[in-house]
Amino acid sequence: MKPDQIIEALRLMLLSRALDEFCIKLQRRNRLGVYAPVHGQEAAVVGSAMALDPADDWMIPASREQPAMLRHGLPLENLLATYTGKVDHGRIPSDVKLLLRQQAIAAQLPHAVGLAWALKLRGLAAVALVYFGDGAASEGDFHEAANLAGVQNVPLIFFLINNRWAISTPVSKQTAAEDLSVRAAGYGFEGLRVDGDDLFAVYEATREAVARARAGGGPTLIEACTYRVGFHNTSDNPREYRDEAEVAAAEANDPIERVRRYATAAGIWSGEEEARISLEISTELNATYRKVASLPRPGPNAIFEHVYEEQPTRVRRQRDTLLNQLPEPDDAG
């Protein structure tokens, strides 16, 4: 990574950490719905995202890859709008090559294969990268998607974030495999493991995989080994199921601190720089949130929009009836 990339990465990681805190606070004050923090996984998420070219390449998120989505072009405003229920303002802009976050674990994987396949069929030199977790790797969708990607040799990076937990289920109960990247061999393509807390290692591994895919070399499975330091999401309390010592060890190995130390030693980062950037970030978060908070809440008609391109008669009648009956909304939820 070049110095400016390191700075970019560090800024994204700091933004991610700040966003976690910011959103968790908002959630605690009932200002937004459930939030799933990135905490602990910043190097894996940011390092992989930075290997993509947002102008050409597609990113397919799972659900806790906020800084990757931002890096790929999603405006912070849209991200916060989605979290706060301003659904239409959360829309992905039409020039951003990003699919939707996914609620159904692993369901995005075959979509990613199809999308990458389309890039290939259309003769584009673009690639796609899809995120998923150690839990998702147990779903049938993972297997079918990986196998199809292999046989069609599509330009797709399967980026597995092994953060050791799927809600309360440790990876030792998720699978007997010691190493999930070996699964790639069963699909006829390359798999490898990287230290997911090492920004540079993640970036390099992803960059190589991207280059191979772009050159027609097909898919790669990258398993980034990291740790979910935070809770699963704001409804979860990990103290109920895991050892605090394990968490403390992961915190001691903070991926942001590792980059910070490196960059400081390299003379491209300093306490002052960080203070400046942190202020910038918090200003941006606050301003963006204020803007988003002032946006109108979606009305009942939003239920009927974007179901089909053309509203079938029965749906139109349901809409007419419902809109006549509904009281003014009293809560943005």
Ligand X SMILES: Cc1ncc(C[n+]2csc(CCOP(=O)(O)OP(=O)(O)O)c2C)c(N)n1
Task: Using CB under 6 A, list all residues that contact ligand X.
Answer: 64, 103-105, 133-136, 163, 165-167, 228, 232
Rule CB under 5 A: is residue 166 a binding residue for Mg ion?
A: yes
Interface with Mg ion (CB under 5 A), residue from 16, 48, 138, 163: 163
Interface with another protein (CB under 8 A), residue from 144, 190, 204, 274: 144
288 token code pair: 């963006």
Query: How far is residue 256 CA from its own chain's centroid?
Result: 17
Query: CB of residue 174 vs ligand X: minimum separation in angstroms?
Result: 8
User: Would you call 228 a catalytic residue per the annotation?
Assistant: yes
Nearer to another protein, 26 or 113 (CB): 113
Residue type, 24: I
Which SS3 state, helix, strand or coil, does residue 125 take? coil
User: Would you call 232 a catalytic residue per the annotation?
Assistant: yes
User: Would you call 241 a catalytic residue per the annotation?
Assistant: yes
Query: CB of residue 121 vs ligand X: minimum separation in angstroms?
Result: 24
Pick from another protein, Mg ion, its own copies, none: which does 118 bind, CB < 5 to 8 A by kind? another protein
Please give the Cα distance from 40 to 255 (Å, whole number): 7
Pick from ligand X, another protein, its own copies, none: which does 92 bind, CB < 5 to 8 A by kind? another protein
247 token code pair: 């968490």
Nearer to another protein, 29 or 173 (CB): 173
Catalytic residue, chosen from 39, 64, 232, 260, is 232
Catalytic residue, chosen from 241, 297, 306, 317, is 241
Give exposure, 162-189, as e/b (b: 16+ Cβ within 10 Å). Answer: bbbbbeeeebeebeeeeebbebbeebeb
The number of C-alpha atoms within 13 Å of 147 and in the hemisphere containing its C-beta is: 6
Query: CB of residue 167 vs ligand X: minimum separation in angstroms?
Result: 5
Report how many residues bind another protein under the rule CB under 8 A. 80
Beta-carbon contacts of 206 under 8 Å, excluding residues fewer than 6 positions away, are: 47, 48, 50, 51, 52, 129, 157, 159, 222
Which SS3 state, helix, strand or coil, does residue 224 take? strand
Please give the Cα distance from 291 to 275 (Å, whole number): 24
Please give the Cα distance from 1 to 266 (Å, whole number): 12
Nearer to its own copies, 90 or 219 (CB): 219
Please give the Cα distance from 125 to 52 (Å, whole number): 12
Rule CB under 8 A: is residue 303 a binding residue for another protein?
A: yes
Please give the Cα distance from 209 to 171 (Å, whole number): 25
**Residue whose structure tokens are 């405003």:** 77
Rule CB under 8 A: is residue 54 a binding residue for another protein?
A: no
Query: CB of residue 170 vs its own copies: minimum separation in angstroms?
Result: 11
Query: CB of residue 81 vs another protein: minimum separation in angstroms?
Result: 10
Residues 88-117 contacting another protein, CB under 8 A = 88, 90-94, 99-100, 103-107, 109-117
Nearer to ligand X, 104 or 266 (CB): 104
As annotated, the active-site residues are 228, 232, 241
